[in-house]
Amino acid sequence: MNTAKPPAIRIQGLRKSYKDLQVLKGVDLDVASGSIFALLGSNGAGKTTIVRILATLLKSDEGTASVNGYDVATEAAQVRESISLTGQFAAVDEILTGRENLVMIARLRRVEGPKQVADDLLERFGLTDAGARRVATYSGGMRRRLDIAMSLIGEPAVIFLDEPTTGLDPEARLEVWQVIQDLSDGGTTVLLTTQYLDEAEKLADGIAILHEGAIIVNGTLAQLRQLLPPAKAEYVERQPTLEEIFLSIVGKDKNGKTTANAKEAP
């Protein structure tokens, strides 16, 4: 008996054009349930177009796509109930407090106990102390964490994160990375579009590279590494990266946690 779970996302022969511009040229892609899958590509490669089709915001010209077992074209309502989409910029109301943002979304989605849901999410995302403050006072990382928390209301099976760390500073990026990892650990399937290669390397279980509307490489990081010649072992004096210097100075480790080693520049 085959007990393997079906893919959380399945794309076959997906095509999309805008007049004479071919954006997607027959994309095929499977994303395993509960995984973090990174879709890499430069601006204009077609990443956001794929996400918009999967989220039922855009219709493809050809091909099929399903999310959580539902066809995006013929079962759009069921797809929408299964997903959440977080765009490149945090969609939060700056006039409201963090807690009020969460309560509002919970009520709009008709979730039982909206106030308790809000409090639970504030605690889960490390925002309890800031919950009563207006979002206008939040840092970029805090806004993004709140944005992702809002997207989880209703417990979607699949979440799309479209360039989630664009414009964030190094500390905020680490905060968001930890949130994404926690989502996957909890069983949520995450489709992550990004231009940052280190982001995919850090987080992704599977990686696909989209170039000029087509998937040119698809596999795990280990499989992608096999495409290049083996590395030669040489002694090199390694200097700290700028990211490591920055995090050391501000007293953070690579996971965004506070350390006791904060240093001051001479």
Residues β-bridged to residue 66? 10, 71
- pLDDT tens for 202-238 read 899 999 988 889 998 899 888 887 877 776 666 667 7
Q: Which residues contact 155 (CB under 8 A, 6 or more apart)?
A: none
Which H or E run includes 9?
strand 9-18
Q: What is the mean pLDDT of the chain?
A: 85
Residues β-bridged to residue 215? 210
State which amino acid sits at residue 28.
D
Q: Are 50 and 24 in contact (CB under 8 A)?
A: yes
Q: Which residues contact 26 (CB under 8 A, 6 or more apart)?
A: 13, 14, 15, 62, 63, 214
pLDDT at 250 over 70: no
| DSSP one-letter code for 227 | T
- pLDDT tens for 79-121 read 999 999 887 666 789 999 999 999 999 999 899 999 999 999 9
Q: Which residue has the higher pLDDT, 43 or 97?
A: 97
Q: How far apart are CA 151 and CA 78, in angstroms?
A: 17
Q: How far apart are CA 114 and CA 42, in angstroms?
A: 39
The two three-digit tokens of residue 258, written as one number = 């506070």
Average pLDDT (6-23) is 94
Task: Find, among 32, 55, 25, 29, the residue nearest to 40 by Cα.
Answer: 29
* Confidence class for position 145, pLDDT limits 50, 70, 90: confident
pLDDT at 32: 94
pLDDT at 2 over 60: no
pLDDT at 28: 95
- pLDDT tens for 164-202 read 887 777 887 888 888 889 888 989 999 999 888 888 888
CATH superfamily assigned to domain 9-250: P-loop containing nucleotide triphosphate hydrolases (3.40.50.300)
Q: Which residue has the higher pLDDT, 169 or 1?
A: 169
For 244, the 3-state DSSP assignment is: helix
Sign of the Cα torsion 129, 135, 138, 142 reads positive
